Amino acid sequence: MLVTAALFLTTLFVAYANGANDNFKGVATLFGSDATTYKGAIALATIATFAGSLCSVYLAEALVHAFSGKGLVPDAVAASPDFLLAVAAGAGTTVLLATLLGLPVSTTHALTGALAGTGLLAVGPQLDFAYLGSGFFAPLLLGPVLAVVLTIPVYWALRTLSGRLGIRRESCICVGVQQFIPVRQLQYNAALQQYTLPAPAGVDITVGTRRDCVEKYHGRLFGISGQSLVTGLHYLSAGTVSFARGLNDTPKIVGLLLVVQALHIQFGVLAIATAMAVGGLLSARKVAITMGKKIARMNDGQALTANLVTGLLVIFASRFGLPVSTTHVAVGAISGIGLANGSADKNVMGGILASWLLTLPVAAAIGALIYALLGFFPLN
């Protein structure tokens, strides 16, 4: 009974760490493009992720079994609370450490590392390395690559289409507090050899860096202004990515609870979804700044493209039981935008990549250590 209670609480700890590190990733582009504030973005992320978590009971059952350890280690070991407790502790601790450092790592990656490390210690050569490679590592590696490769052509295609529909980007300068004046309204004064603005007297104009430049969309489609249309679709896409994240990540964590026979799976999903929501609301800010502000600079349209690619890839993977990482896909898509518009910060991208490489061995080591300690100090 004690080990079962410890497994349940440790699984909630994994869900909390997951929410803290992952919940904001679906709405990072909203925050990064200044479409909304941090509070507005995290509120949308919490609601959409919670909805995706609840729907995972019906749409992503295959992922529940994939992360229960079955097929990777013998069924007797996969059904051991000690084994699953060690896996949960290894993954949760790794993700929480990364969150405290502001690094967007993958809970999927951490769970995979913990499963591999704990499984190797538990069964040695009986660990199914072929299944580990094809069922776990291949989707994890493929996700970010596909995101980058797809985002760049999709961005250029949408940019071309919007231009043909009469929706074009305009760079703006800030006048006062909330008034935006398109650059095309500047008038060139040949005598002064400079541009002037037809603005009321006494209005100060501040010149900033390229990063401070605001881009808006000009034109109308179906009677709707281009900016309103892009903003609305951006919000919809952010909600879709957050929904997809809840759909993809929740069953992976619930898989740790299958051994608790007395726990109904619907209750398990509700508990995990709640813990994820709390983690995101309380501890997501550092990762939010990295995802939204440090990887690349983007406007609403570019952010919309990144979200579309992320949402489609994650939903597709969830439907077919492929354990891709929402983190890897989202970072890949944002990086793709940065590479397309020339704003990608390669130092930040390199740091994130290094954290991904460390996630597997760190989670594996912690999981194996906890499993060894449980062997010496059993909770039964």
Give 341-369 pLDDT, tens digit per residue.
Answer: 888 898 999 999 898 888 888 999 999 99
pTM of the shown model:
0.77
Q: In this predicted model, which residue has the larger pLDDT, 53 or 58?
A: 53
Pair (50, 118) in one structural domain: yes
**Is the model's pLDDT at 99 over the cut of 70?**
yes
Q: What angle do CA 132, 135, 137 make, to 5 degrees?
A: 65
Residue 175 located in a structural domain:
yes
Pair (172, 158) in one structural domain: no
Which domain, by its residues, includes 51? Answer: 2-162+233-376
Q: Evaluate whether 331 touches 28 at the Cβ level (below 8 Å).
A: no
Q: Which residues contact 190 (CB under 8 A, 6 or more apart)?
A: none
Q: What is the pLDDT of residues 165-221, one digit of tens each?
A: 666 655 554 444 445 555 555 554 555 455 455 555 455 544 444 444 556 666 666
Dihedral sign for Cα 49, 51, 52, 57, please: positive
Give residue 13's pLDDT. 92
**Is the model's pLDDT at 92 over the cut of 70?**
yes
Pair (301, 341) in one structural domain: yes
Average pLDDT rounded to a whole number, residues 90-107: 91
Average pLDDT rounded to a whole number, residues 58-82: 66
Q: What is the pLDDT of residues 269-321, one digit of tens each?
A: 888 899 999 999 999 999 999 988 899 888 778 888 888 888 888 777 767 76
Q: Evaluate whether 269 touches 54 at the Cβ level (below 8 Å).
A: yes
pLDDT band at 323 (very low <50, low <70, confident <90, very high): low
Taking each helix axis from N to C end, the angle separating 2-22 and 326-341, rounded to the nearest 10 degrees, works out to: 10
Average pLDDT, the chain: 78
The first and second tokens of residue 124, run together, are 């040695």
Pair (238, 150) in one structural domain: yes
**Is the model's pLDDT at 256 over the cut of 90?**
no
Pair (271, 244) in one structural domain: yes
Residue 366 located in a structural domain:
yes
**Is the model's pLDDT at 119 over the cut of 80?**
yes
Going through the chain in order, the beta strands assigned E by DSSP cover: 168-175, 179-182, 187-189, 194-196, 214-218, 220-221, 224-225
**Is the model's pLDDT at 74 over the cut of 80?**
no
Q: Evaluate whether 108 touches 358 at the Cβ level (below 8 Å).
A: no
Pair (46, 117) in one structural domain: yes
Residue 227 located in a structural domain:
no
Pair (182, 242) in one structural domain: no
Pair (12, 113) in one structural domain: yes
Residue 223 located in a structural domain:
no
The C-alpha atoms of residue 112 and residue 107 are separated, in whole angstroms, by 8
Residue 291 located in a structural domain:
yes
Average pLDDT rounded to a whole number, residues 117-122: 87
Pair (115, 196) in one structural domain: no
Residue 185 located in a structural domain:
yes
The C-alpha atoms of residue 264 and residue 261 are separated, in whole angstroms, by 8
- The proportion of the chain whose per-residue pLDDT surpasses 70, expressed as a percent, equals 71
Number of domains, the chain: 2
**Domain termination residue (choose one: 183, 218, 253):** 218
**Domain termination residue (choose one: 193, 218, 243):** 218
Pair (148, 174) in one structural domain: no
Q: What is the pLDDT of residues 18-52, one digit of tens each?
A: 999 988 888 988 888 888 899 999 999 999 999 98
Give residue 212's pLDDT. 47
Residue 228 located in a structural domain:
no
Average pLDDT rounded to a whole number, residues 243-270: 75
Q: Spell out the alpha helix ranges (H) of 101-218.
A: 107-123, 129-132, 138-164
Residue 34 located in a structural domain:
yes
Pair (282, 143) in one structural domain: yes
Q: Evaluate whether 268 touches 304 at the Cβ level (below 8 Å).
A: no
Pair (149, 260) in one structural domain: yes
Give residue 275's pLDDT. 93
